[in-house]
Structure 1
Amino acid sequence: MMRSPKFWGAIYLLTGVLFTYLAATSPGSMWSFYTILLMLFAAYNISISFKMFALAGKMKRKDQ
């Protein structure tokens, strides 16, 4: 059974927030490889969540 795009959007948003939190609390400098990698993952997940929420809106308008 397929989950709704809103569900996946929330999951991607939560993982993006988690990666952002981990990057903000990571030891070392702001420009370390680990911090930059975590922020790249966070940016990717948050952008996918926006796409999922937009897809849910398109599907809702299509059904009406």
Structure 2
Amino acid sequence: MRRTPLFSGIIYIILGLLFTYLATQNIQRENGWGLFTVFLIIIATFDLGSGLRMVAFHFKWQKELKNK
């Protein structure tokens, strides 16, 4: 089975949302921002950014395939 950028993008977005959830839970548990929380937010940012970029690429790619 071949993975499309849409599938990979959705997986990255889900992981980004999961890391965001874990970071908010960590903030509430520790009563503030710690190093681990900042690390989780950085990972979530990279995952969400990559996921959105892959989803956008998928739709651009599909549009180009239809024009050929």
TM-score (norm: length of structure 1): 0.91
Structure 1 spans left out of the alignment, 5+ residues? none
Q: 2: CA distance between counterparts of 1:11 and 1:37?
A: 20
Higher helix share: 2
Aligned length: 64
User: Unmatched 5+ residue regions in structure 2?
Assistant: none
Offset at 1:25? 0.5
For 1:4 and 1:30, the matched residues in 2 are separated by: 39
TM-score by length of 2: 0.86
- What percentage of aligned pairs have identical amino acids? 33
- Between 9-18 and 21-30, the greater mean CA deviation after superposition: 21-30
**Distance in 2 (alpha carbons) for counterparts of 1:61 and 1:30:** 45
The answer to whether structure 1 residue 14 and structure 2 residue 22 are counterparts is no
Structure 2 residue identity aligned to 1:41:
I
Structure 1 stretches (4+) deviating beyond 3 angstroms? none
Larger radius of gyration: 2
